[in-house]
Every structure is written in structure tokens, then in C-alpha cells.
Amino acid sequence: MDRKLISVGLGFLTLAIMLGAFAAHGLESLGVAAEKIKSFETGVRYLFYTSFGLMILSILMQRFDFEIKTQYRQILWGTVLFSLSIFLLVVIPALGGDKPKFLGPVTPLGGLLLILGWGGIFVKYVRTK
């Protein structure tokens, strides 16, 4: 699990840096409005938060006497759904496509999974002695 946490954390970190550069340089050239760029940057920020959180969690895993497989999956998929839905809601219209309506509810679902994952680890940690 340590290796998985580090690998996903490093992958998210790499992706966050690439997408952050795209937000800073590419979106404006596509004519994306400032408030949409700010939304895109929120998705990037959550990728950063999750990447650092997973890597820190991998260091702390040896101190836990409980499993976090379910919470890891919630965090992984929560981040993917949250950030990816924001990216697509900004980029698809910028490329001339229609705003995908089905993505609207995906963002809060991803956020809920993130809360459940991190909150679940917190509860498990507090309950241990």
C-alpha cells in the first residue's frame, strides 16, 4: 500500500504541475474567462492537496494498526471525479463544445468521496490507542 500511495501521489503531483502550467499559459490563449481559469485552478489545487496527503500518509502508514484500502479508493476516485469534472467543464466549452450537463453533479460527488475518505482515516486514527 505504501508504494501505491507514493505512486499515485507522485502521479497526481506531476499532473497538477502540468495542468497548473496549462491553466497559467494555455487557457488564456483559448479565450477562457478569468473566473473559469480560477475554477480550473481549484481542480489543480485539489490534485496538489491529494498528492501531498497521499505521500504523507505513506510515511505514517507504519504507525497505523488499521487498513485504509476503502478510504484510499474514496480519496483516489474522489480526486479524479472532482478535479476531472472541473477540468472538463472548463476545457470542453473553450474548445467549442457544449458544456456537458452530466458533469455538474459529478464535482460534488467527487468532493463527497474526498470527505468520506479523509474523514474515515481521521475517525479510524482517533479510535485507535
Predicted local confidence at residue 103, as pLDDT: 84
pLDDT at 17: 95
Q: Which of 43, 46, 17, 23 is nearest to 94 (CA)?
A: 23
Average pLDDT per 10 consecutive residues for the chain, totaling 129 residues: 88 94 87 89 94 91 85 95 93 83 90 96 88
Residues near 52 by Cβ (< 8 Å), separated by ≥ 6?
9, 13
Q: Which domain holds residue 112?
A: 2-127
Residue 123 pLDDT: 93
What is the predicted pLDDT for the residue at 99? 79
Q: Identify the pLDDT of residue 93.
A: 86
pLDDT value of residue 31: 82
* Number of domains comprising the chain: 1
